[in-house]
Structure 1
């Protein structure tokens, strides 16, 4: 997650953002800047494969289905002692509960208009991720005599909602994870069309079922068939 060196220390910032018709806008008025940058983080990328077997098949070939969303996990320290951030004259240091409340307002707040939690942008130097909070666990490690927390470790997990790979996949209209409507031409067979869409002719029975075909061996030219996404 380390950024490009500019001579100034850059801190990880989490901003609320909005997604409208594919356009992302950053809500600058609602953000959380960490006191101390994470000492490490994990960035998981994974691929979903279709492992469907046909009748009588002993094994299954892993066929590409889709790219899963990115997952990012890291921990941050929140300090209310004034050791990390010097007290602000006349105000003092924000206590741990206040800082966690500020973090919650960005990553955990339920948006009553959209009926879902906030979408956020993680930004640290050259690292950027748009996504949503998946989980947050807070461990309180230091306390005042009255029990109020003075220090906490917050473990955060985010799941990306739009990656460059997903954008490219959506742009590829021939991808087998997208729905297709194909008009039958003379000489077409259902196994052949399945191979053109899925690179696997064995899906012809499933496509026949989806399209309520009684006789899939004799396709009428001009008929439009629906080829669903792979599952």
Structure 2
């Protein structure tokens, strides 16, 4: 889980605000939807639903934070107590950002899942304690709401009559924001292109990879 910003059409990941889970969730729920116009014409027994818009996208899962020492240390080789882990999680997903005056945007990566959105809810249950009352274990239920710009939404739903999907082959030195600026008209489309092509990262592109992108004619 990594915090990121969209400024001037450029996607910027804040690698200093990253939270890596100790234990993979047992499962996760990924919900998408479609909104239809269900208006009926007078006299019609049943209306044919007409596509209106791509609905909200949600991802939810539960994390277990352990401070007992049973779980092996993370990539940095350090064991962190539950309070420290909660502080890091809050900084990445919950903490209000004064410069944007809103909660942070986050990127979730897990296997083939790449999801961009904002925290919708976080419920924490502490289940084990030291004699001092300091928590040793916590279960954190998280729910995220997908967040897309107008350009991303058009790319995902492919609704714009002025766009067409084209294949772009990555060459050495290419970046996803740069390719999106060239072929989609905006670097801000990078998160949507990453989701569409199941890319694990916005920054690392493998030369020779073919990407599906929405191209706008000049």
2:55 to 68, 71, 86: 68
**Separation (CA, whole Å) in 1 of partners of 2:45 and 2:23:** 54
- Structure 1 residues 166 and 137, CA, compared in 2 at 3 Å: closer, same or farther? farther
For 2:156 and 2:29, the matched residues in 1 are separated by 24
- For 1:57 and 1:148, the matched residues in 2 are separated by 65
Task: Report the alpha carbon displacement of residue 167 of structure 1 after superposing the two structures with TM.
Answer: 1.9
1:24 is the counterpart of 2:11: yes
Distance, in Å, in 1 between the alignment partners of 2:144 and 2:154 is: 17
Instruction: Give 1 or 2 for the bigger CA radius of gyration.
Output: 1
User: Do the aligned partners of 2:93 and 2:103 also contact (CA within 8 Å) in 1?
Assistant: yes
Deviations for 1:127-154, whole angstroms, at most 9, x for unmatched residues? 2111111111111111112222110011
Deviation at 1:61, TM superposition (A): 3.0
Shift of 1:58: 5.3
Inter-partner Cα distance in structure 2 for 1:51 and 1:114: 37
Q: 1:92 to 1:33 in 2, by over 3 A?
A: closer
Secondary structure of the residue that 1:158 maps to in structure 2? strand
Please say if residues 154 and 160 of structure 2, whose CA atoms lie closer than 8 Å, have aligned partners that are also in contact.
Answer: no
Cα distance in 2 between the residues matched to 1:23 and 1:78: 33
Deviation at 1:21, TM superposition (A): 4.0
Cα contact 2:126–2:137 (8 A) shared by 1: yes
Q: Residue in 1 aligned with 2:197?
A: none
The 3 A distance-change label for structure 1 pair 44 and 166 is farther
Question: C-alpha displacement at 1:125, in angstroms?
Answer: 3.2
**Which residue among 90, 94, 110 is the counterpart of 1:108?**
94
RMSD over aligned Cα atoms:
2.8
Deviations 1:30-56 (CA, angstroms, capped at 9, x unpaired)? 110000111111111110111234556
Distance 1:35 1:65, change over 3 A: same
Larger deviation, residues 115-124 vs 159-168: 159-168
Trace 1:1-231 onto structure 2 (pairs within 5 A).
14-54=1-41, 59-86=46-73, 93-162=79-148, 166-169=154-157, 172-173=160-161
List gaps (5 residues or longer) in structure 2: 164-218
Partner of 1:33, secondary structure, is: coil
TM-score, normalised relative to structure 2: 0.65
**What is the deviation of 1:114?**
1.1
* Structure 1 residues without counterparts, runs of 5 or longer: 1-13, 176-231
- The TM-score with structure 1 as length reference comes to 0.61
1:112 CA drift (Å) = 1.1
- Counting matched residue pairs gives 160
